[in-house]
Amino acid sequence: MTPHPAIELAGIDKSFGAVHANKNINLTVAKGSIHGIIGENGAGKSTLMSILYGFYQADRGEIRIDGKPITIRDSQTAIASGIGMVHQHFMLVENFTVLENVMLGAEGGQLLAKGVAGARKELKRLEAEYGLDVDPDAIIEELPVGKQQRVEILKALYRGAEILILDEPTGVLTPAEADHLFRILKVLRDQGKTILLITHKLREIMAITDEVSVMRRGEMVATRKTAETTVEELAELMVGRRVLLRVEKGEAQPGKVLLSVKNLTVKDSRGVTMVDDVSFDVREGEILGIAGVAGNGQSELLEAIAGIRKPTSGEILIDGQPVAGLDPARLRELGLAHIPEDRHHMGLVLKFEEYENSVLGYHRDPRYGRGALLDLDAIRKDAEEKIAKYDIRPPNPRLKTANFSGGNQQKIVVAREIERDPKMLIIGQPTRGVDIGAIEFIHRRIVEMRDAQKAVLLVSVELDEIRSLSDRIIVMFAGKVVGEATPDAGEQALGMMMAGAV
Amino acid sequence: MDYFDIFVSILGSTIRLSIPLIFTALAGLFSERAGIVDIGLEGKMLAAAFAAACLAYVSGSAWIGLLGGIGISIGFSMIHGFASITNRGNQIVSGVALNFIAAGLTIVLGQAWFSQGGRTPGLTGDARFSPIILPGADFMRDVPIVGPLYANVISGNNILTYLAFAAVPLSWWILYRTRFGLRLRAVGENPAAVDTAGISVSWLRFRALIVTGILGGFAGAYLAIAQSAAFINNMSAGKGYIALAALIFAKWKPVPVMLACLLFGFLDAVANFMQGKSIPMIGEVPVQIFQALPYVLTCILLAGFIGIAHPPKAGGVPYVKER
Ligand SMILES: Nc1ncnc2c1ncn2[C@@H]1O[C@H](COP(=O)(O)OP(=O)(O)OP(=O)(O)O)[C@@H](O)[C@H]1O
Ligand SMILES: [Mg+2]
């Protein structure tokens, strides 16, 4: 007798109002395998997984776990059926310790004291078995995202999960952290656990999954054995057309220096020096890429240039004019546009409707207002144009921004900043959590900006992205610029610099 | 009266004036740590005071009065929960509405039942909580320094006073040492984390509000049947708001809550003492200055001069399942 598949979904259907997020989904996942799920932004991947985890309820359809049909009414039932989930946006209590987060909901009795000792022991065991090391007494908000994610995995394993769902786990990780995660996932699989992995990175799919399913516009369009498919085929299945997986661009035609940073030093709120005596120039008509492992001062550098954080010392010049310490509104007037690294904290107000976010920061523009009042019709019309041009889905300017999928949220920010036709564009992680079709689109826009003789400063932790877009690359490590390279520098050489080994 | 006697008497009234604040602020602590802002503390206290006075009068038992106060206060809490948890309404609006209902209903019902202009009949004997003289109080009275403190500040309070001070470590223990406390603190910070851990957010918040109701009932009963011997119109007189200020001042932590309430009670006691007296060189100080001080201090705190007050992150926001 062949063992039952770990998961069987039959005819799952789910709508949010007018949005049909999942249409008649069928999916079978074998026990002890890593099953990838890919699809464009808004294809319905997170929705499907949230249904399996009991966070949402399907309108129709059946779920079978180990061959047994079950109704998953809430997360409690899902946990009891051995399903654990690491959400796209972590579900952690930030001012709690790791231990408290792991225990929450599985405390082992009315009093905490009883459970704590057991939980510590179990954490030790999980750490030893899977290489999931985190200090149980650390406070979540003080941990880097990679560690926070481990806490999420520990939460699931602590509850005895046999099926682990990971929703875009590598979006926020450094390459080294991602490698570590994959090692952990392989160990888990080899111990017979079943893993569902959502990702936009086809390379990861090829590297780690056994099977892969493709979703498009709410439908499950194909399932393939990973060994029998190619990146090109998957990309085409996802987007429904051929996708260019490289960036096409001509020679740069750099002009005069537009943005200049001189001996810039920035301290964070705790007084730690995050940017240490950094100098560089960005010319019009070129893309300067800043490579580096996350947390080496790139974020603070971007924030200082964008006027969000006051530099401690040093100069920032736009067109030779000192601008350090000016507020973001003034900088926008000077032609500086900023696509922030973190769309949720800085780029968008999630509770606003799409059209409100589409002009955020530029709402004082006379085009959008009549005196003290906003001209809502003009703003909505403008938003509709951006939606059409950037293919933002669903194409509804009145939808609350929180209800767009991550990639579409990113497109809202990109559209807002690029469509202003700024002189300079500074960009942090332009394609985090964005599907390949949209990546192709956003990359092309960035190159177009360069070709229109704009100065572009690009920060990304994705080495591939930096190498394929930049005309020049500088590498940051521990707050300092440790080297400069050309885009054809080998991955190895750049990697060494990023690790501070040069 | 020499200065020491004045000091002892102010200390004694500090205790008496702090007790309703402590109960109420702890009540607020449980709801706010669970993410439900409760501006309706004032109304709960008032309604509970009225219910306690009525029931104590009718039954002749202070304990039954206390139970009545707790019952009505829990009822108010549940209405607040129904509006703001079940129906995801605005928590401030619901709280303010309950305050108005309490202020109006107590007068109307009091007048209808007892025809004393909204007062309830005076309570005597077992119908109110009377002072407990601790062993040795009389004997100790003559010992210098310690004696008067023991006899007038520590001894001679009613049972609810001692319960209030016991409620502080108990609250701490519940919040930090029990499963319920852990979940309660979590749901006030990130309800989605609680939900995905397989715990019902609504039920958890309702349970927190039940605790709030119980403590609010104690506060009201203290006012009507321990400190006084009847219900008087609007006898809570803004204490619910002062307690809320104390809660913020204490950064939502039990032991600091007690200290903040004692501080505010002390200011109140000083204000009472200073009434009609003049200070050499300065003259008569208007009592309003002392009455305003708790709010002024809280504002200074909120402005960031005394450390930063981080309210529970999910406070005031109804929980909707979405990412
Ligand atoms: N709570 C909600 N209310 C309304 N619409 C929603 C809600 N959640 C998701 N949607 C919509 O359902 C569709 C599917 O969204 P989902 O988040 O599942 O996409 P996804 O495949 O995970 O995308 P991404 O790769 O960008 O994370 C989208 O169009 C989204 O806007
Ligand atoms: Mg998603």
* ipTM score assigned to the predicted complex: 0.88
Query: How many independent structural domains does chain B possess?
Result: 1
Structure tokens at A124: 């030790």
Reply yes or no: is the peptide bond before residue A394 cis, omega within 30 of 0: yes
Distance B323 CA to ligand 2 centre (A): 9
- Find chain B residues with C-beta within 8 A of A112's C-beta: 176-179, 181-182
User: Does B129 reside within a domain?
Assistant: yes
Indicate whether B323 pLDDT > 70. Answer: no
- The full DSSP string for A456-502 is EEEE-S-HHHHHHH-SEEEEEETTEEEEEE-TTS-HHHHHHHHTT--
What pLDDT does residue A295 have? 79
Indicate whether A288 pLDDT > 70. Answer: yes
pLDDT digits (tens, 9 = 90+) for A181-198: 999 999 999 999 999 999
Confidence class of residue A245 from pLDDT cuts 50, 70 and 90? Answer: confident
Indicate whether B309 pLDDT > 90. Answer: no
What pLDDT does residue A436 have? 86
User: Does B116 reside within a domain?
Assistant: yes
Ligand 1 pocket at CB < 6 A = A 16, 19, 21, 39, 41-47, 88, 393-394, 403-407, 435; B 322
pLDDT digits (tens, 9 = 90+) for A53-79: 998 999 999 999 999 999 998 899 999
User: Does B75 reside within a domain?
Assistant: yes
Beta strand pairing call for A455-459 and A480-485: unpaired
Q: Are A64 and A258 in contact (CB under 8 A)?
A: no
* Mean pLDDT comparison of A47-51, A487-491, B138-142, highest-scoring range: A47-51
Distance A215 CA to ligand 2 centre (A): 12
Segment (H or E) for A10:
strand A7-16
Q: How far is B147 from chain A (nearest CA, A)?
A: 41
Indicate whether A265 pLDDT > 60. Answer: yes
**Residue in A91, A140, A408 to test binding to B, most B beta-carbons within 10 Å:** A91
Q: How far is A249 from chain B (nearest CA, A)?
A: 37
Domains and CATH numbers, chain A: 7-239 (3.40.50.300), 250-335+423-502 (3.40.50.300), 350-421 (no CATH)
What pLDDT does residue B1 have? 57
Check B178 against A55: CB less than 8 A apart: no
What pLDDT does residue B307 have? 65
- Find chain A residues with C-beta within 8 A of B185's C-beta: 93, 96
Check B323 against A89: CB less than 8 A apart: yes
Check A104 against B313: CB less than 8 A apart: no
Atom of ligand 1 nearest to the CA of A393: 29
Which residues are A24's β-sheet partners?
none
Check A105 against B183: CB less than 8 A apart: yes
In degrees rounded to 5, what are phi and psi of residue A38? Answer: -125, 165
- Comparing CB atoms, the residue among B179, B183, B323 nearest residue A109 is B179
Segment (H or E) for A86:
strand A83-86
User: Does B257 reside within a domain?
Assistant: no
**Residue in B179, B253, B313 to test binding to A, most A beta-carbons within 10 Å:** B179
Instruction: Assess B199–A contact: CB distance below 8 Å, yes or no.
Output: yes
- Percent composition of chain B: helix, strand, coil (DSSP 3-state, to 5): 70, 0, 30
Q: Range with the lowest mean pLDDT among A188-192, A284-288, B299-303?
A: B299-303
Integer-rounded Cα radius of gyration of chain A: 24
Instruction: Assess A387–B contact: CB distance below 8 Å, yes or no.
Output: no
Indicate whether A435 pLDDT > 60. Answer: yes
Instruction: Assess B185–A contact: CB distance below 8 Å, yes or no.
Output: yes
Indicate whether A89 pLDDT > 90. Answer: no
What pLDDT does residue B305 have? 65
Task: Say which ligand is closest to the CA of A43.
Answer: 1
Indicate whether A349 pLDDT > 60. Answer: yes
Residue B173's nearest CA partner among A120, A112, A100, A105 is A112
- Comparing CB atoms, the residue among B186, B194, B198 nearest residue A79 is B198
Average pLDDT over residues B297-309: 71
**Alpha-carbon span A199 to A436, nearest angstrom:** 11
User: Does B182 reside within a domain?
Assistant: yes
Distance A107 CA to ligand 2 centre (A): 30
**Alpha-carbon span A353 to A331, nearest angstrom:** 25
Q: What is the 8-class DSSP label of residue A301?
A: H
Indicate whether A464 pLDDT > 70. Answer: yes
Domain ranges, residue B146: 3-237
User: Does B263 reside within a domain?
Assistant: no
Handedness of CA A42, A44, A50, A54 (dihedral sign): positive
User: Does B283 reside within a domain?
Assistant: no
Average pLDDT over residues B199-221: 97
Minimum CA–CA partner of B179 in chain A:
A110
Residue A193's nearest CA partner among A13, A30, A391 is A30
What pLDDT does residue A15 have? 94
Integer-rounded Cα radius of gyration of chain B: 20
Check A94 against B200: CB less than 8 A apart: no
Q: How far is B322 from chain A (nearest CA, A)?
A: 8
pLDDT digits (tens, 9 = 90+) for B131-152: 888 887 777 777 887 888 888 8
More confident residue, A416 or B277: A416
- The full DSSP string for B65-134 is HHHHHHHHHHHHHHHHHIIIIIS---HHHHHHHHHHHHHHHHHHHHHHHH-STTPPPP--GGGSPPPBPP
CA B93 to chain centre: 20
Residue-averaged pLDDT of chain A: 91
pLDDT digits (tens, 9 = 90+) for B234-291: 999 889 999 999 998 899 999 999 999 999 999 888 888 877 777 777 777 787 887 7
What pLDDT does residue A492 have? 82
How many CA atoms are closer than 13 Å to the CA of A497, on its beta-carbon side? 21
